[in-house]
Structure 1
Amino acid sequence: MQVLDFKPKAIIFDLNGTMINDMEYHTKAWHSIITEDLGESNSYESVKKEMYGKNPEVLERIFGRNRFTPEEIISLSDEKEKRYQENYFPHLALIEGLDEFLKRAKNNGVSMAIGSAAILFNIDFVLDGLKIRSYFESIVSADDVEISKPHPESFLKAADALGVNPADCLVFEDAPKGVESAHNAGMKCIVLTTTHDLEEFAEYSNILGFIDNFKNPILTTLL
């Protein structure tokens, strides 16, 4: 078994693809809007590559600047979240082992926060739907930052809210841009292999390990 000698004072979780395995539903929601509502021919895989950051940023990466008015962006974003929640709700569940990991971390006095590019509407959907809000001392959403990942703002704000030095924080992420954000914040990271291939993370030196769920034995050495 791999042994991790890093003992974090705080843990910061990304949400989508990290705590819940839902990125497919976000991608499907955007893909349906793009192809069915807007009549574009973008492939599912091309949309999947742009699934990071805030909704307006996703639209800008796919369509370029000034394709939509601010009002249209709000309308498209609202419709996307509606479709995502309707389709994912029957499958809403924590990634295997996370419930016990959260309990163990709290019992060991490790502070926890969420640093996510999700809007608060979706974070609330998860935390209240799964009744896990009490584990987290701070929540940093897309609504709380000026610059999205890979900028470190999300994770630095979470660490500041917890009163913990960034170097003493451990981030759980599933996306290369999220790992890069943790690196830019001076934080170590463990990667969930839910949405991306291992080779996509080859350039990052802050990764302690890769896991497919929270029952992985390397996590027992963290706490």
Structure 2
Amino acid sequence: MHDFNFKPKALLFDLNGTMINDMEYHTLAWYSIMTEDLGAALNYEIVKKEMYGKNHEVLERVFGKDKFSPAEIERLSIDKEKRYQECYLPHLALIAGLDDFLERTKAAQIPMAIGSAAIPFNIDFVVDGLNIRHYLGAIVSADDVQISKPDPETFLKAAAALGVAPADCLVFEDAPKGVESALNAGMQCLVLTTTHSLEEFDGYPNILGYITDYNDAKLNLLF
């Protein structure tokens, strides 16, 4: 890690790819809809690159702003989330070591929140399915913000809900757009290497370090 004189007063977690390793299932669900249902000539890697933000933002980036009506976007979004949950449910699990890390953080009286571009339907699926709601002082979802990451609104709202200054928050993220969102919010960041290569994070000055999971001994320096 670059600097661990920093002692956070709150921890903010992205959800997908950060607390659970499920991004493959989101990408597969979108890939199925885009190529099989909508007939787009896209390969898996192209679809993977667009997996950030709200569902309507994903559709607009890939197909253009006026391709679908609001009703069609809603239908496609619901279908995508149902496919994702059906495929991921047998594999639903916290990233290794996170259960113990959440318990230690709670014991240290450091408040925690989720700041995610996921919709409540999916956040509830994970939080209640894994019984971790009691660790969380706040949850900020896609429905709570006007603009998705890399806009800072998600993390700023999470910090405000916990009553902690942005500069005192540490964000856990797995995606460059999420790290950029933390940077725009004035927050330091730890990166989970579950989804993206290290090279994709070049140039972000707010990254304290990288971990593969929550068993990493470097996390002991937080307390």
Ranges in structure 2 where 5+ consecutive residues have no aligned partner:
none
> Which residue in the other structure is 1:153 paired with?
153
Contact 1:120–1:141 at 8 Å: present in 2 too? yes
Give the direction of change, closer, same or farther, for the CA distance of 1:3–1:184 in structure 2 (3 Å limit): closer
Contact 1:27–1:51 at 8 Å: present in 2 too? yes
> Which residue in the other structure is 1:11 paired with?
11
* 4+ residue segments displaced more than 6 Å: none
Q: How much has 1:3 moved relative to structure 2?
A: 7.0
SS in 2 for 1:219: helix
Q: 2:69 is matched by which residue type in structure 1?
A: T
SS in 1 for 2:170: strand
Deviations 1:102-129 (A, max 9, x none): 0000000000000000001000000000
> Which residue in the other structure is 1:163 paired with?
163
Contact 2:2–2:208 at 8 Å: present in 1 too? no
* 2:103 paired with 1:98: no
Contact 2:102–2:135 at 8 Å: present in 1 too? yes
* 2:211 paired with 1:211: yes
> Which residue in the other structure is 1:175 paired with?
175
Contact 1:3–1:218 at 8 Å: present in 2 too? no
Q: 1:30 is matched by which residue type in structure 2?
A: W
Using the size of structure 2 for normalisation, the TM-score is: 0.98
Percent identity between the two aligned chains = 70
SS in 1 for 2:100: helix
> Which residue in the other structure is 2:127 paired with?
127
Contact 1:2–1:218 at 8 Å: present in 2 too? no
Contact 2:3–2:208 at 8 Å: present in 1 too? no
Counterpart Cα distance in 1 of 2:2 and 2:92:
31
> Which residue in the other structure is 1:70 paired with?
70
Counterpart Cα distance in 1 of 2:78 and 2:9:
37
Q: 1:58 is matched by which residue type in structure 2?
A: V
State the aligned residue count.
223
Using the size of structure 1 for normalisation, the TM-score is: 0.98
> Which residue in the other structure is 2:80 paired with?
80
Q: How much has 1:4 moved relative to structure 2?
A: 2.0
Alpha carbon RMSD of aligned pairs, Å? 1.0
Counterpart Cα distance in 2 of 1:112 and 1:40:
40
SS in 2 for 1:103: helix
> Which residue in the other structure is 1:185 paired with?
185
Contact 1:169–1:187 at 8 Å: present in 2 too? yes
Counterpart Cα distance in 2 of 1:192 and 1:82:
26
Contact 1:3–1:221 at 8 Å: present in 2 too? no
Counterpart Cα distance in 2 of 1:3 and 1:171:
15
